[in-house]
């Protein structure tokens, strides 16, 4: 059995940095989905993770062919200075090769994708010639090899086209199809169960009891997890009672590879997630030097890995995107775990404490000079769900940063980069 968490996970010292946390995750994550591989037709494989290298078994394109509609010819028949008249001796449309060989002084009418006839090395575009009956006049100045696509210029036989661990994007499926593969071998989907925790949480669509708020996190998290290609199960709301949390996690752990909770991981009297996980398996409680967020619980409940996110919706979402997402992708077998951050111009002034990483929700606007500029959503509180809705992504400020002035460059993580 692959255990995600062992004693090496234990945090020593004070607050843990984001880089340290991500490095530990990268080192420790093992693929848990290789116990059952699936052979899927290409049409069902989008978003799934390749379980074996896909090797090119052929050259693509399989033949030299024409990039334009025109006439295939022998470059040596042309003149550098004067037009030359050639005799059209045949036709090569896409899917209908010309079977003869091109004779000196001859040309073959050819269309885009048509196979280059034997003896032809160059194609002239039909717009550049004058044609009458079986005669075609070629202007001077055509380069040898013009408008000709070469066999194998896209894929070469024997190359690794797509590597194990790749999450299949639409264009990857196109590449596999071009190589003649009707299907691919992928890991089974990771099974992820999601709980919310808190006596104050009510189910949207139902009544709101006094003192309650509607559960928002489960809807954010289940949708994000589904976007990663995992099989997500909504496990509902756990109350703030140790026995109930323990029983809920214990039961759910049997059918899942990963359990994910939000809320209940602080050190308040009503925060029972830690205690429950500790009594069922391992728990490593990370105090991260981050804002929003801070407590992130990682552990093992039975055979399932466990992640406890903070309860505040913004903190839960940020911690999911930055920490739980790479964990989920890694457990599922993916090799590319972390998102690309983009440099944009800050359209705001901001001061922060040194020593922790901070994420601010921001909207991007194009400045008149074309540069993307990040504008902060206010208020900044980590409970403001609208800050996630009214923004395009997260400005990420490093540990060393203490102040940002408008016009400086900052890192930006678009939601689209991590929502799938
Ligand atoms: P906790 O981490 O359990 O102390 O929760 C911190 C804050 O987040 C509290 O205001 C909770 O009411 C709120 N919260 C926790 N879970 C959710 C949830 N699933 N949906 C919306 N708000 C939540
Ligand atoms: Mg709570």
For ligand 2, a single-atom ion, the residues with CB < 5 A are: 198, 263-264, 311
**What separation in Å is there between the alpha carbon of 306 and the centre of ligand 2?**
17
Q: Tell which one of 245, 263, 309 to mutate to probe ligand 1, the residue whose CB is within 8 A of the most ligand atoms.
A: 263
What spacing in Å lies between the alpha carbon of 291 and ligand 2's midpoint? 18
pLDDT score of 13:
58
The yes or no reply on domain 342-418 and CATH 3.30.300.30 is no
Identical topology for domains 37-57+161-187 and 65-149: no
pLDDT at 6 (0 to 100): 47
pLDDT of amino acid 171? 98
- Given the structure tokens 């678009």, which residue do they identify? 414
Contacts of 112 (CB under 8 A, 6+ apart): 66, 67, 68, 69, 94
Kind of pairing, strands 183-187 and 65-66?
Answer: unpaired
Q: Which ligand is nearest to the CA of 198?
A: 2
Q: Which of 99, 82, 97 is nearest to 139 (CA)?
A: 82
Has domain 37-57+161-187 been given CATH number 3.60.9.10?
no
> Which parts of the chain register pLDDT below 70?
1-13
Kindly report the pTM of this predicted structure: 0.92
Taking CB atoms and a 6 Å cutoff, what residues make up the pocket around ligand 1? Answer: 196, 198, 200-201, 213, 215-218, 262-264, 266, 310-313
Which pLDDT tens digit goes with each residue over 318-377?
999 999 999 999 999 999 999 999 999 999 999 999 999 999 999 999 999 999 999 999
Q: Which atom of ligand 1 approaches the CA of 237 most closely?
A: 19
DSSP conformation letters of 275-326 = HHHHHHEEEEEEEBSEES--EEEEEEETTEEEEEE-SSHHHHHHHIIIIIHH
Ligand 1 pocket: which of 312, 317, 389 to mutate (most atoms within 8 A of CB): 312
Closest CA to 44 of 162, 170, 225: 170
Number of H helices, E strands in the chain: 9, 28
Hey, what CATH topology would domain 65-149 get? Answer: Molybdopterin biosynthesis moeA protein; domain 3 (2.170.190)
Which ligand has the minimum distance to the alpha carbon of residue 216?
Answer: 1
Residue ranges of domains in the chain: 18-36+188-331, 37-57+161-187, 65-149, 342-418
Distance 414 CA to ligand 2 centre (A): 29
Strands (E), 225-288: 231-238, 258-262, 281-287
**What is 18-36+188-331's CATH topology?**
Molybdenum Cofactor Biosythetic Enzyme; Chain A (3.40.980)
- C-alpha 149/C-alpha 144 separation (Å) is 12
What are the tens digits of pLDDT across the range 83-108?
999 999 999 999 999 999 999 999 99
């Amino acid at each position: 059995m692959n255990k995600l968490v062992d004693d090496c996970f234990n945090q020593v010292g004070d607050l843990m940095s984001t880089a340290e946390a991500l490095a530990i995750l990268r080192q420790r994550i093992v693929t848990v989905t290789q116990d059952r591989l699936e052979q899927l037709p290409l049409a069902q494989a989008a978003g799934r993770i390749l379980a074996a290298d896909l090797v090119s078994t052929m050259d693509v394109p399989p033949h030299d062919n024409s990039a334009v509609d025109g006439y295939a010819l022998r470059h040596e028949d042309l003149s550098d200075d004067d037009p030359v008249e050639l005799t059209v001796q045949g036709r090569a449309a896409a899917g209908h090769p010309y079977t003869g060989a091109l004779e000196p002084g001859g040309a073959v009418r050819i269309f885009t994708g048509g196979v280059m006839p034997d003896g032809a090395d160059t194609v002239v575009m039909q717009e550049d010639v004058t044609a009458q009956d079986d005669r075609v006049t070629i202007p001077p100045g055509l380069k040898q090899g013009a408008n000709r696509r070469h066999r194998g210029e896209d894929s070469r036989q024997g190359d690794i086209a797509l590597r194990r661990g790749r999450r299949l994007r639409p264009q990857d499926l196109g590449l596999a199809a071009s190589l003649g593969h009707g299907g691919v071998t992928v890991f089974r989907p990771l099974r992820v169960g999601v709980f919310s925790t808190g006596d104050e949480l009510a189910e949207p669509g139902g009544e709101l009891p006094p003192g309650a708020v509607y559960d928002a996190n489960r809807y954010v998290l289940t949708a994000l997890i589904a976007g990663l290609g995992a099989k997500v199960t909504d496990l509902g709301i756990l109350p703030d009672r140790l026995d109930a949390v323990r029983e809920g996690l214990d039961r759910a752990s049997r059918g899942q590879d990963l359990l994910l909770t939000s809320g209940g991981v602080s050190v308040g009297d009503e925060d029972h997630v830690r205690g429950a996980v500790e009594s069922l398996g391992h728990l490593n409680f990370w105090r991260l030097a981050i804002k929003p967020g801070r407590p992130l619980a990682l552990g093992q409940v039975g055979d399932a890995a466990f992640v406890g996110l903070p309860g505040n919706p913004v903190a839960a979402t940020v911690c999911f995107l930055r920490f739980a997402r790479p964990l989920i992708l890694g457990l599922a077998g993916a090799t590319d775990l972390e998102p690309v951050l983009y440099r944009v111009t800050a359209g705001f002034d901001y001061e922060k404490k040194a020593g922790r990483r901070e994420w601010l929700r921001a909207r991007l606007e194009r400045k008149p000079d074309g540069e993307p500029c990040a504008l902060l959503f206010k208020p900044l509180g980590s409970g403001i769900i609208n800050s996630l809705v009214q923004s395009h992504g997260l400005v990420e400020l490093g540990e060393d940063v203490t102040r940002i002035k408008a016009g400086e460059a900052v890192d930006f993580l678009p939601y689209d980069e991590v929502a799938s």
